[in-house]
Amino acid sequence: MFHSIAIDGPAGAGKSTIAKKAAAALGFIYVDTGAMYRAMALYCLRKKISPDREEQIGDACARIDITIAYEDGVQQIILDGENVTALIRTEEVGNMASAIAVLPAVRTKLVELQRSLAQKADVIMDGRDIGTYVLPNANLKIYLTASAKERANRRYLELTEKGRICDRDEIEKDIIERDNRDMNREFAPLRQAEDAVMIDSSDMTIEQVVGAILDEYGRIA
């Protein structure tokens, strides 16, 4: 039996940075499930399929192939044979991912891939519904959150560091909108699993959060 750690939480809480570090410390594979929704979103954007065309998206789910691979330990996301890892990190793709993630056809397809990965290796998997739906028997479940203001601030700093011009309030508005959609959808919404440990990272450093997760895991492993 392989071990699994589920990390769920809203956009910008630091899940991927923290999950990557914890995975490296434990020798686990890091699985970024958001990247899978983003790859699906990229496909829809390229094909100009609007998120309300449920039937068309359902057909696309049956047709397209999304897989992951690892290069030097870094997850790569492959869409119909094309490595799209570098193309999915835009706000446009993120918003589209959140919009199509409400559709059962999309979730069913990607959850199957996520569960199959957890059957083959020790994983730290991050997303929105990992502890509540994808891996209900995960050895450890973390609900990682931070205030919307702090999450917007982090995103703003990340973008301005890359030389992008952006508006902090606009980013916060986007984050709140995305939270609402992710938390209020009917199918597998974002919420804290009953047996998840809640960590609010608003006033914590990355190292402190990673340390807290490793401590929790140490207690149960």
Site for ligand DC in 59-118 (CB under 6 A): 94, 97-98, 101
Closer by beta carbon to ligand DC, 134 or else 210 = 134
Closer by beta carbon to ligand DC, 198 or else 221 = 198
Q: Does 7 bind ligand DC (CB under 6 A)?
A: no
Distance (Å) of CA 211 to CA 19, 49, 67: 11, 43, 31
Closer by beta carbon to ligand DC, 151 or else 210 = 151
Binding mask 14-53 for ligand DC (x = CB under 6 A): -------------------xx--xx---------------
Q: Does 135 bind ligand DC (CB under 6 A)?
A: no
Q: What is the 8-class DSSP label of residue 147?
A: -
3-state helix, strand, coil in the chain (%, to 5): 50, 15, 30
Gap between the Cα atoms of 20 and 124, Å rounded: 8
**177-193: burial string, b at 16+ Cβ within 10 Å, e else:** ebbebbeebeebbbbbb
Gap between the Cα atoms of 60 and 176, Å rounded: 29
Closer by beta carbon to ligand DC, 42 or else 101 = 101
Query: Shortest approach of ligand DC to residue 221 CB, angstroms?
Result: 24
Q: How far is CA 45 from the centre of its chain?
A: 19
Q: Does 131 bind ligand DC (CB under 6 A)?
A: no
Closer by beta carbon to ligand DC, 42 or else 210 = 42
Site for ligand DC in 178-217 (CB under 6 A): 178, 182
Query: Shortest approach of ligand DC to residue 106 CB, angstroms?
Result: 8
Strand order in the sheet with 74-79: 66-71, 74-79, 82-83
Closer by beta carbon to ligand DC, 102 or else 213 = 102
Which residues, in sequence order, are CB contacts of 1 under 8 Å at separation 6+?
Answer: none
Residues 120 and 3: beta-carbon distance below 8 Å: no
Q: Which stretch binds ligand DC (CB under 6 A): 54-62, 125-133, 160-168, 194-202?
A: 125-133
Q: Which residues bind ligand DC (CB under 6 A)?
A: 11, 33-34, 37-38, 94, 97-98, 101, 127-129, 178, 182
